[in-house]
């Protein structure tokens, strides 16, 4: 197995681990936790998601406003606004959605899409 094949396999393994974690989280957290996360993200979308999630799920929501203010100040220092981040995220999502939709329209089995992803990762 080549290094590129090993890299691709590690990506597949990582995705499988992600799916397993997602299932664990579904059992561990409640709809109320999901609602609190949604609310926190709607209020502070510019806060790093890892920080936001860890604060909410550890019941430290009360310090989110201070962290959000700090993050906003730091973003201002480098000239990035929450709107810039949101716009870029939306563009990235639209491009990805269009690519996947067009690939699946051309090959509903998804094999071509998977092959393209493999080539993108491995260079083969």
Cβ count near 45 (within 10 Å): 15
Digit-coded pLDDT (tens) for 55-96: 999 999 899 999 999 988 888 888 877 777 777 777 888 888
pTM above 0.75, yes or no: no
The set of residues, in sequence order, having a beta carbon less than 8 Å from that of 47 and lying 6+ positions away, is: 40, 64, 67, 68, 71
Digit-coded pLDDT (tens) for 1-36: 677 788 888 889 988 999 998 888 888 888 899 899
């Amino acid at each position: 197995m080549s290094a590129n094949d090993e890299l691709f396999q590690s990506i597949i393994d990582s995705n499988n681990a992600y799916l397993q974690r997602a299932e664990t989280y579904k059992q561990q957290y409640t709809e109320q936790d999901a609602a609190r996360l949604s609310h926190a993200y709607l209020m502070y979308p510019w806060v790093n998601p890892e920080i936001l999630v860890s604060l909410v799920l550890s019941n430290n929501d009360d310090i989110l406003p201070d962290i959000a203010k700090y993050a906003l100040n730091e973003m201002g220092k480098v000239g990035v606004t929450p709107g810039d981040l949101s716009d870029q995220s939306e563009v990235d999502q639209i491009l990805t959605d269009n690519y996947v939709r067009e690939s699946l329209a051309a090959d509903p089995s998804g094999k071509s899409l998977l092959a393209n992803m493999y080539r993108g990762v491995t260079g083969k």
